[in-house]
Chains A and B, each alone.
Chain A
């Protein structure tokens, strides 16, 4: 009977649709969101306007999972959202008091490992490390300070590299390689000896191919790579994170990266 076979086909289509729907959603803090095959938890969350705190992730660049601020809970496991693929049916904890406390401790460790004296840094107010600390309500550094001695590179006429503020997020490494196509930066050494190195015969920025207009020059979330001769043009108190939270700017970053991607 023709009518019956149509019904069967319809049912089958409905069944496949239902399976597809249920196999392409995850739940973040009880909110069900869709994801596309190949997306990470971070990608899916950003597309659904859910904020997962992060420092070393930037929309459009491959993730590297090294700042660990995007830690989320799945069952009894903790994973970095930026490098964990979204899988159907994942129940993810994100904005919980417990996880935000863990993130605050991670931020405190990032602060004490370097020399982050905000009142002396030109990046203050525009710094993502500072902004994430504000967002998480960090009042003090808790751990004993390392006060490390790290090499400063002021050789370039227009760009300053102060390694004492570097948090080893490797955004400049990835931006130089993926966007600028130059490979100016790399991370060398292990553990507490890990540091940023410059790809030039002398190891100095002045002998590298870096330009002020490179993405690698401006992507630094902290005050490690600064453009010279434009300090304090925006007064303290009127800077990005004096006006907005990092949660708001992260969403703007995603929207502009998506618009650029769609245009390309």
Chain B
């Protein structure tokens, strides 16, 4: 009897991102079924598991904008053998990093106090809210990253091109023809 090959465990998360990369991942459509014969999901918006267990692959969408992002990213680094930065925001901060050109206090004032249409002006300070960082950082400035998948978002084909070699223990190489930052 053939031994049953254990499935690779994949964890995914969106930090300071828009979940667009996750949506693009789902664009694999019927190819997801074949992929799920070889992988299973740990912590991910697809499973709603809240804590990341030991995994083979971690996919990180989004940059690092608050303290909770730092904690989640470090948890992923500790639990995942291979950690991959997915999409423009994870790689260089992306759209959320546009706030880096302004002081954080000015941003908060504009959004919650002085902005057009603000009713009951007050900067939220609930204990549940994670503290913001001074800037939005790319993930590789916080933890070691093994591979990068650029794109806004990367296409489903890009995800497969990256994952398929990893499933067989090979190093993925993204073809230059597929390379896009937008």
Contact of A145 among B85, B92, B98, B174 (CB under 8 A): B92
Q: Could you say which residues of chain B place their CB within 8 Å of the CB of A164?
A: 101
Q: Could you say which residues of chain A place their CB within 8 Å of the CB of B141?
A: 144-145
Q: Could you say which residues of chain A place their CB within 8 Å of the CB of B93?
A: 117, 145, 147
Q: How far is the CA of A242 from the CA of B94 in the complex (A)?
A: 20
Cβ-based interface call for A120 (8 A): yes
Cβ-based interface call for A185 (8 A): no
Structural contact, B85 and A140, CB atoms closer than 8 A: yes
Structural contact, A137 and B182, CB atoms closer than 8 A: no
Q: Which of A96-141 contact B (CB under 8 A)?
A: 111, 115-120, 124-125, 130, 133-135, 137-141
Structural contact, A117 and B140, CB atoms closer than 8 A: no
Contact A133/B181 with A140-B140, A140-B148, A141-B92 known, Cβ cut-off 8 Å: yes
Chain B nearest CB, measured from A151 CB (Å)? 11
Chain A nearest CB, measured from B134 CB (Å)? 11
Chain B interface: which size bin? 20 to 34
Structural contact, B91 and A119, CB atoms closer than 8 A: no
Q: Which residue, of B94, B95, B182, has the highest number of chain A Cβ atoms within 10 A?
A: B182
Chain A nearest CB, measured from B55 CB (Å)? 22
User: Mind listing 13 A-B residue pairs with CB under 8 Å?
Assistant: A111-B92, A117-B98, A118-B181, A133-B179, A137-B174, A138-B179, A139-B147, A139-B174, A140-B85, A145-B137, A145-B141, A147-B100, A236-B182
Q: Could you say which residues of chain A place their CB within 8 Å of the CB of B180?
A: 134, 242
Q: How far is the CA of A50 from the CA of B37 in the complex (A)?
A: 48
Contact of A117 among B85, B88, B147 (CB under 8 A): B88
Structural contact, B176 and A116, CB atoms closer than 8 A: no
Q: Could you say which residues of chain B place their CB within 8 Å of the CB of A115?
A: 100-101
Cβ-based interface call for B58 (8 A): no
Contact of A125 among B135, B137, B179, B182 (CB under 8 A): B182
Q: Which of B130-163 contact A (CB under 8 A)?
A: 135, 137-138, 140-141, 145, 147-150, 152
Q: Could you say which residues of chain B place their CB within 8 Å of the CB of A120?
A: 95, 98
Chain A nearest CB, measured from B61 CB (Å)? 13
Structural contact, A119 and B95, CB atoms closer than 8 A: yes
Contact of B179 among A124, A137, A141, A145 (CB under 8 A): A137
Structural contact, B101 and A147, CB atoms closer than 8 A: yes
Q: How far is the CA of A124 from the CA of B141 in the complex (A)?
A: 25
Which partner residue on chain A sits nearest B87 by CB separation? A119
Q: How far is the CA of A125 from the CA of B151 in the complex (A)?
A: 12
Q: How far is the CA of A237 from the CA of B152 in the complex (A)?
A: 12
Q: How far is the CA of A169 from the CA of B136 in the complex (A)?
A: 28
> Would you list the 6 A-B pairs with minimal beta carbon distance, nearest first?
A118-B181, A119-B152, A147-B100, A139-B148, A140-B148, A124-B182
